[in-house]
């Protein structure tokens, strides 16, 4: 009975049937494509985390060996790079090029490579240990979510690939809504007609802007970051402002203007974190690297370690 009714509907409404078939094909294609893209993104992120952890581990091993040699009284002069330090330099340079190395650590390694100052190794080791622990936690969480997702995570992983089709359908619906309302307007040359058209266009643009903000939150894979929560909050606020249109068509330009005014706040949210700012002794080392006397005052190793501990809070 159901099959007969379906064939009857297709026979009498061929255009609707074609649109429905195209929608089903588009949904299936977007679902599979989105699932593949997110899976590839997770695999790429896992590879980068693994590579970073391997480079951190190699560099930490060489630093610890160097420090143990110095503590045992077998350290060499720092004026000339000893042959046994070649491996340490190579590991540090490899760590400096790691995918997820922080700007602060990269800068500290660069200073050490220019100065060959062994007093910098212990602060570098502390930063490496802290960051490698953070990367390990991120790696384990991502791997667990991919291989053993929880009850809610499993449901989200099934629903999320359908979101591109939902957002695309909503955008098409906004376009159809605009076309229908414009077709219902009688041609007129008065100011009221022009204002109505402006409001209709503003409502559509506001809706598309809201969909883009939702897409940024729901579709884009991002690593955990210091400003991630505020970025998501701003995007959700901008998207939620579409509800202002329920007050009437005249509110459309004001809702769009408010969305545009809030959007630049996301750029102010991109300041440098404490870990990416100059570390203790950075400016003094920079001055000595610039050609001044090597006896320029440097902050002691103890104060550097204290500064690193404060930065990790």
**pLDDT tens column, 35-88:** 999 999 999 999 999 999 999 999 999 999 888 887 776 544 444 445 557 888
What pLDDT score was predicted for residue 270? 59
Residues 111, 88: Cα–Cα separation, whole Å: 14
R_g of the chain, CA atoms, integer Å: 29
- Specify whether the CB–CB gap between 206 and 258 falls below 8 A: no
Q: What is the chain's length?
A: 313
Of 304, 156, 125, residue with least CA distance to 221: 156
Answer whether residue 152 shows pLDDT above 90: no
What pLDDT score was predicted for residue 150? 86
> What is the CB neighbour count within 10 angstroms for residue 67?
15
Residues 211, 205: Cα–Cα separation, whole Å: 10
pTM greater than 0.85: no
Higher pLDDT, 306 or 180: 180
Ranges 62-76, 98-112, 188-202, 289-303: which has the least confidence: 289-303
Question: Which pLDDT band, with edges at 50, 70 and 90, does 201 fall under?
Answer: very high
Tens of pLDDT, residue by residue over 261-271, are 999 988 876 55
Answer whether residue 310 shows pLDDT above 50: no
Answer whether residue 175 shows pLDDT above 60: yes
Residues 218, 36: Cα–Cα separation, whole Å: 16
Of 271, 273, 282, residue with least CA distance to 124: 282
């Amino acid at each position: 009975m159901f099959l007969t009714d379906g064939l009857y509907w297709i026979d009498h409404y061929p255009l609707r049937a074609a649109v429905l078939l195209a929608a089903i094909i588009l949904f299936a294609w977007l679902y599979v494509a989105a699932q593949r893209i997110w899976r590839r993104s997770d695999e790429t992120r896992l590879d980068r985390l693994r590579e970073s952890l391997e480079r951190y581990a190699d560099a930490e091993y060489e630093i610890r060996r160097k420090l143990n040699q110095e503590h045992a009284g077998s350290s060499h002069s720092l004026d000339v790079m000893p042959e046994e330090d070649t491996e340490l330099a190579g590991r540090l340079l490899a760590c400096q090029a790691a995918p997820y190395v922080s700007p602060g650590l990269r800068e500290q390694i660069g200073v050490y490579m220019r100065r060959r100052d062994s007093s910098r190794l212990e602060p570098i080791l502390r930063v490496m240990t802290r960051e490698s622990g953070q990367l390990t936690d991120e790696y384990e969480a991502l791997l667990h979510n991919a291989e053993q997702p929880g009850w809610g995570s499993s449901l989200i992983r099934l629903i999320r690939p359908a979101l591109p089709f939902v957002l695309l359908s909503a955008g098409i619906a906004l376009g159809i809504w605009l076309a229908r309302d414009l077709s219902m307007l009688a041609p007129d040359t008065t100011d009221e007609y022009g204002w109505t058209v402006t409001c209709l266009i503003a409502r559509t643009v506001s809706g598309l802007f809201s969909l883009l903000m939702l897409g940024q939150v729901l579709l884009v894979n991002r690593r955990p970051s210091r400003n991630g929560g505020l970025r998501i909050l701003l995007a959700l606020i901008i998207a939620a402002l579409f509800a202002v249109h329920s007050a009437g068509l005249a509110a459309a330009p004001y809702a769009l203007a408010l969305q545009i005014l809030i959007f630049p706040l996301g750029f102010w949210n991109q300041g440098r974190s404490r870990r990416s700012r100059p570390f203790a002794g950075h400016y003094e080392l920079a001055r000595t690297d610039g050609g001044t006397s090597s006896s320029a005052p440097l902050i002691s190793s103890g104060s550097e370690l204290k500064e690193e501990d404060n930065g990790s809070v």
